[in-house]
């Protein structure tokens, strides 16, 4: 009895993702994941509101509010990035 190699590889490839555990973020990873998800949602909401305003589906007040929220979210992300880079550079300057 012979087993077709392609069929065996296909069966293995299909079963492998089912047995691999999903990594769960913990601690700081979970916080950064929530932050990134919130940033993404805010930017998408701003884009959606901007597109609706261009087609006449949203009032100008909603557009200004969405753009202000998006600007604040981006500024927050840039500030966090700058702090992380600064901390990394400080670690690099430490004597060994």
Predicted confidence pLDDT, tens digits, the chain (96 residues): 456 777 767 776 776 666 666 777 777 788 888 888 888 899 999 999 999 988 888 888 888 999 999 999 999 989 999 999 999 999 999 987
Q: What is the pLDDT of residue 72?
A: 92
**19 belongs to a structural domain:** no
Cβ-based neighbours of 80, under 8 Å, separated by 6 or more: 35
Q: Which domain holds residue 49?
A: 25-93
Nearest 10 degrees: Cα torsion 83, 85, 86, 92: 150
SS3 of 24, please? coil
Cβ-based neighbours of 76, under 8 Å, separated by 6 or more: 39
**1 belongs to a structural domain:** no
Residue 66 in tokens? 């969405």
Q: What is the pLDDT of residue 75?
A: 93
**65 belongs to a structural domain:** yes
**9 belongs to a structural domain:** no
Q: What is the pLDDT of residue 92?
A: 94
**63 belongs to a structural domain:** yes
The dihedral of CA 50, 56, 58, 63: what is its sign? positive
Q: What is the pLDDT of residue 91?
A: 94
Count of domains observed in the chain: 1
Q: What is the pLDDT of residue 85?
A: 96
SS3 of 23, please? coil
Q: What is the pLDDT of residue 26?
A: 76
Instruction: Kindly report the pTM of this predicted structure.
Output: 0.62
Q: What is the pLDDT of residue 19?
A: 63
Q: Any idea which residue has 């753009």 for tokens?
A: 67
**10 belongs to a structural domain:** no
Any idea what the Cα angle at residue 71 is, between residues 74 and 44, rounded to 5°?
75
**20 belongs to a structural domain:** no
């Amino acid at each position: 009895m012979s087993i077709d190699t392609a069929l065996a590889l296909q069966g293995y490839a299909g079963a492998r993702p089912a047995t691999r555990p999903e990594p769960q973020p913990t601690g700081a990873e979970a916080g950064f994941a929530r932050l990134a998800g919130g940033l993404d949602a805010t930017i998408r909401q701003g884009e959606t509101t901007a597109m609706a305003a261009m087609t006449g589906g949203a009032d100008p007040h909603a557009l200004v509010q969405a753009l202000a929220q998006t600007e604040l979210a981006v500024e927050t992300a840039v500030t966090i990035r700058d702090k992380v880079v600064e901390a990394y550079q400080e670690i690099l300057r430490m004597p060994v």
